[in-house]
Amino acid sequence: MNIDGGNNMSETVNVFFFGKRYEVPAALTIMEAMEYAGYELVRGCGCRHGFCGACAVIYRIKGHNELRTALACSTQVQDNMYVASLPFYPSDKRTYQLEDLTPGSRVMMDLYPEIYSCIGCNACTKGCPQGLSVMQYIACAQRGDLEQCARLSFDCVGCGICMSRCPAGISHPMVGELARRLTGRYILPQSGHVKERVAEVHAGRFDEEIERIMQKPIDEIMELYNGRDIEK
């Protein structure tokens, strides 16, 4: 568990997971507290060898009416917190071949016409645990500004909270993903050295080195990663 050494593990709070009360150390995140209480996170959250965004939760503090949303991995427990996991939210991802698309003004209208039904309630933005301007990047998609839509949606982890709050049924993460893919493929300048490196990878130039690294213990791999030279 990732616990700050300055926090006293003897301090506890009462939390309720799916209506059942547990007494847990106050220093824990919601995810750590669920594991402390005996829940097995079988959905495969990103920091549990799955994908980021899979730990979305909704919660309410006793005595307060506001229903809040969060990522369990980065939100600390509070006393009298009532928590429930947000089940996998079925996004509506349209089928397309990127090579058949052009980054014109009609691409969003053709694939995601529901974005034009946005009523401007801003519930998507209010619910986003990443603090993204979700309604704003949808507005960018509406007017065909794909590069700005890609920029504003860049940190989306696809947790689905915005979709669950939208009365228009918009699949915001899928819209942002399409904008980022089109921007990377057609709008941003091409990176020559990346293309060359991909060709080297496909040619097997790094196979032996990768295999050698994979045989190392995980702590040594982490040390190599954290101490790597980062290109400026």
Would you state the structure tokens that stand for residue 96, as one six-digit string?
């397309």
pLDDT of residue 52: 81
Q: Are 142 and 116 in contact (CB under 8 A)?
A: yes
* Percent of the chain clearing pLDDT 70 (strictly above): 92
Q: Among residues 156, 175, 67, which one has the least CA distance to residue 117?
A: 175
pLDDT of residue 42: 64
17 vs 52: which has the higher pLDDT: 17
- Mean pLDDT of all residues in 134-161: 95
Q: Does 80 share its domain with 109?
A: no
In order of 18, 82, 124, 161, 221, the CA distances from 40 in angstroms are 14, 18, 29, 22, 27
Q: Is residue 8 scored above 60 in pLDDT?
A: no
Domain that holds residue 209: 202-226
* pLDDT range class, residue 2, cuts 50, 70, 90: very low
62 lies in a domain?
yes
Last residue within a domain, chosen from 85, 110, 129: 85
108 lies in a domain?
yes
pLDDT of residue 7: 53
The sheet that has 81-85: what strands, in order across it? 20-25, 12-17, 81-85, 56-61, 68-71
Q: Does 58 share its domain with 118?
A: no
What total number of domains does the chain contain? Answer: 3
- Mean pLDDT of all residues in 112-116: 96
Q: Are 122 and 135 in contact (CB under 8 A)?
A: yes
Would you state the structure tokens that stand for residue 45, as one six-digit string?
């959250």
76 lies in a domain?
yes
220 lies in a domain?
yes
Q: Is residue 49 scored above 90 in pLDDT?
A: no
Q: Does 181 share its domain with 102?
A: yes
38 lies in a domain?
yes
Tell me, what CATH number does 156's domain have? Answer: 1.10.1060.10
Last residue within a domain, chosen from 28, 55, 85: 85
Q: Does 105 share its domain with 164?
A: yes
Location of structure tokens 């007017």: 143
The total number of residues written for the chain in this structure? 232
Q: Does 108 share its domain with 182?
A: yes
* pLDDT range class, residue 6, cuts 50, 70, 90: very low
Q: Does 138 share its domain with 177?
A: yes
Q: Is residue 94 scored above 50 in pLDDT?
A: yes
Q: Among residues 95, 72, 80, which one has the least CA distance to residue 161?
A: 72
